[in-house]
Structure 1
Amino acid sequence: MAKTYHAFFRHGAYHQWPGVPSARQPWALTEDGMTQAREGAALLARMLAKHGLSLAPVAFSSRQLRAWQTADLLIGALRAQGHDITELRETSALAERSLGSAANLTVARIEEALAADPRHAPPPRDWKSDSDYCLPLEGAESLMMAGARVATHLETFGQPDRVTIHVGHGASFRHACHHLGLLSRDDIARFSMFHARPSLICHEADGTWRHLAGAWKIREPKSEPKD
């Protein structure tokens, strides 16, 4: 098996509803988010030059508007620098954790719905950041389930000796990195991701994964996880 390389990005800042677990919100990037995406392209170009790597022709993003916009801006800036990217492909595999039928409800409304349903126990106090907790609602995932989905995507879509771009969401990428052996269980809670800054990883010929470049953001104690 040949080596494959992957650059993954959390989307840029966007018009996020307050009090709503952000998973599948449909809103666009802010002006700051657009700037972050263009700056992310410059950071990736420097990483490519440092490691002597070139980009794969197909890039991927989740179907959320903020991720697609981030990828579109990244690709436009990279093309302007002479990088040959021919296609941006959207995929549900890169989505953030699904809350199923509770999508885009506020935290208070979700907890109210569970309290009103005699089939369900109250969720744990820290349910939003609990890696293993899955809302008992149709279509919902745990963070670990979302991470496994993203990890499978990364394992599947790579081009030998090229860097494939993937634009998605912070929590699902962090949990994917745990599944790939790049982050410990404790690291998942300790780290976050900067908006639209690349992390470069390598899938080695022996099947293992290695981190090459890009810094994790240290999460402030007791801060809420962001997608």
Structure 2
Amino acid sequence: MADHHLALIRHGAYHQRAGAPSALQPYPLTNEGAQQARDCGTEIAQLLEGSAFRLDSVVHSSCQLRAWQTARIASDVLLERGFEITEIHQSPALSERSVGSAANLTLEEIEAVLAEDPRFDTPPPGWKSDSDYRLPLQGAESMTMAGTRVAGYLRHIVETASTNGHAPLLTLIFGHGASFRHAARNLGVLRRSDIPKLSMYHARPLRLCYNQDGSWAHSGGHWKQRRGGEIATD
């Protein structure tokens, strides 16, 4: 049985509301983001044309518009290059960390909501980048919880895929940087201490390999190294 590779692809640049956690924002790609998605399709096509990978015809995406658009544009490039894609399967399991009922509020607005509610404590400094902090609001998750959710989805893909044959299967997964990084930690590919040092490039495939012994490994592409003082937007 051949190994199974998953290409984790963060969405392209999009019209993110300034000062608000990325989370479940509903906005589309910018022109730059659309070009990043086209370049992503070209990069994947070149990888497939120069290797023994067999492309999974089902592409997976979160339900956020920016991820679906990135998947759609990249898939159109692949179709033009002669590769078969039969479906873009959307799943909320691939979404970014949810801030629940605070969705699309700015950090300042969220903190004001909590300050005005006598049931809640003031969130700690830097709470947005704290992997284990969950807003005390309905529907909210920590980034660790989001990573566990995404990792479960990735495990389900490899457990249910048909990988018969000698060519390794490549499945495309379009989603979000923070939940992908925390999923990689859950799968044993990253350490907790790696999380704050790393990000993901927009629309650049980063491959994980599910090995025959049940382990996971980083098999291609590059994590983005955060610069000192860089503000996370994912």
TM-score normalised by the chain length of structure 1 = 0.96
Superposition pairs of residues 51-200 of structure 1, within 5 angstroms: 51-158=51-158, 159=161, 160=163, 161-200=168-207
Q: Distance in 1 between matches of 2:217 and 2:91?
A: 24
Shift of 1:222: 2.6
Shift of 1:22: 1.3
| Structure 1, unpaired ranges of 5+ | none
Q: Distance in 2 between matches of 1:173 and 1:51?
A: 25
Q: How many residues align?
A: 227
CA deviation map 1:126-155 (0-9, x unaligned): 100000000001100000000011111111
Q: What percent identity do the matched residue pairs reach?
A: 51
Q: Distance in 1 between matches of 2:148 and 2:50?
A: 30
Match of 1:42 in 2: 42
Q: Which runs of 4+ in 1 moved over 3 A?
A: none
Q: Is the 8 A contact 1:171 1:225 kept in 2?
A: no
Shift of 1:2: 5.6
CA deviation map 1:48-101 (0-9, x unaligned): 344410111111101110000000001000111111111001100110000001
CA deviation map 1:89-128 (0-9, x unaligned): 1100110000001011111110011111111111111100
Distance 1:85 1:198, change over 3 A: same
Match of 1:208 in 2: 215
Q: Is the 8 A contact 1:129 1:224 kept in 2?
A: no
For 1:66, the aligned partner's letter is R
Aligned partner of residue 128 in structure 2, secondary structure: coil
Shift of 1:19: 1.0
Match of 2:31 in 1: 31
For 1:34, the aligned partner's letter is A
Q: Distance in 1 between matches of 2:202 and 2:3?
A: 27
For 2:211, the aligned partner's letter is E
Aligned partner of residue 70 in structure 1, secondary structure: helix
| Structure 2, unpaired ranges of 5+ | none
CA deviation map 1:188-208 (0-9, x unaligned): 110111000001111011110
Q: Distance in 2 between matches of 1:45 and 1:191?
A: 26
Q: Is the 8 A contact 2:53 2:169 kept in 1?
A: yes
For 1:208, the aligned partner's letter is S
Match of 1:221 in 2: 228
Q: Is the 8 A contact 1:170 1:226 kept in 2?
A: no
Q: Distance in 1 between matches of 2:130 and 2:73?
A: 33
Q: Distance in 1 between matches of 2:117 and 2:51?
A: 54
Shifted more, 39-48 versus 18-27: the winner is 39-48
Q: Distance in 2 between matches of 1:118 and 1:223?
A: 33
1:9 pairs with 2:9: yes
